[in-house]
């Protein structure tokens, strides 16, 4: 129960600070920061700390950092997606972006359940998606300081 609270606390900070980070690094820079951080945090959490039975104090430090990096990027979608589309498509485009992510997550969890993966196996297969996020971000356009497309 405490672990969920620590993860949620870190995630909340990551969400709140996304705007500040995006203003400094740009939209793309912020997403790359969060995706690379999420990749590193996931690898450390699921390949080192949990299998190595890390002491509770170590997990109490690692969980908020993990939450910050893996949850915090979601605040950016509300900013970034609308900036990608002209006015006539803004709601549809942003909604499509939000919901395709949800659909992908649902598909991944369905596959994990059907394959009867344990949580650590699921984490091993899902963690590389952070690297995919970096690649997709590199292909996207930067929208910081640009007017919304009409």
Quick: pLDDT tens for 80-121. 888 989 999 999 999 998 898 889 889 988 998 998 988 888
Structural domain range at position 129? 2-139
Domain assignment present for 148? no
Report helix, strand or coil for 40.
Answer: helix
CA distance 148 to 86: 7
Domain assignment present for 108? yes
Please check the confidence at residue 1 and state whether its pLDDT lies above 80: no
Please check the confidence at residue 126 and state whether its pLDDT lies above 90: no
Query: What is the structure's pLDDT at 2?
Result: 80
Burial degree of 28 (CB within 10 A; 0-12, 13-18, 19+) = buried
CA torsion angle for 86, 92, 94, 99 (degrees, to 10)? -160
Domain assignment present for 144? no
How many domains, the chain? 1
CA distance 84 to 147: 10
pTM, to two decimals: 0.89
- Asked if 33 and 9 touch (Cβ cutoff 8 Å), the reply is no
Domain assignment present for 145? no
Mean of all residue pLDDT scores within the chain: 92
Helix (H) or strand (E) holding 81: helix 74-84
Please check the confidence at residue 136 and state whether its pLDDT lies above 90: yes
Please check the confidence at residue 30 and state whether its pLDDT lies above 70: yes
Domain assignment present for 80? yes
């Amino acid at each position: 129960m405490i672990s969920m609270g620590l993860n949620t606390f870190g995630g909340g900070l990551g969400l709140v600070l996304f705007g500040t980070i995006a203003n400094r690094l740009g939209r793309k820079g912020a997403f790359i920061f969060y995706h690379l951080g999420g990749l590193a945090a996931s690898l450390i959490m699921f390949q080192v700390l949990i299998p190595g039975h890390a002491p509770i104090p170590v997990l109490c430090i690692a969980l908020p950092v993990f939450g910050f990096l893996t949850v915090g990027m979601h605040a950016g979608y509300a900013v970034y997606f609308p900036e990608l589309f002209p006015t006539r498509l803004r709601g549809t485009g942003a909604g499509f972006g939000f919901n395709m992510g949800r659909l992908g997550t649902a598909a991944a969890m369905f596959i994990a359940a059907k394959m009867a993966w344990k949580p650590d196996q699921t984490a091993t297969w899902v963690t590389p998606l952070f690297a995919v996020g970096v690649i997709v971000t590199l292909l996207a356009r930067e929208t910081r300081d640009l007017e919304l497309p009409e």
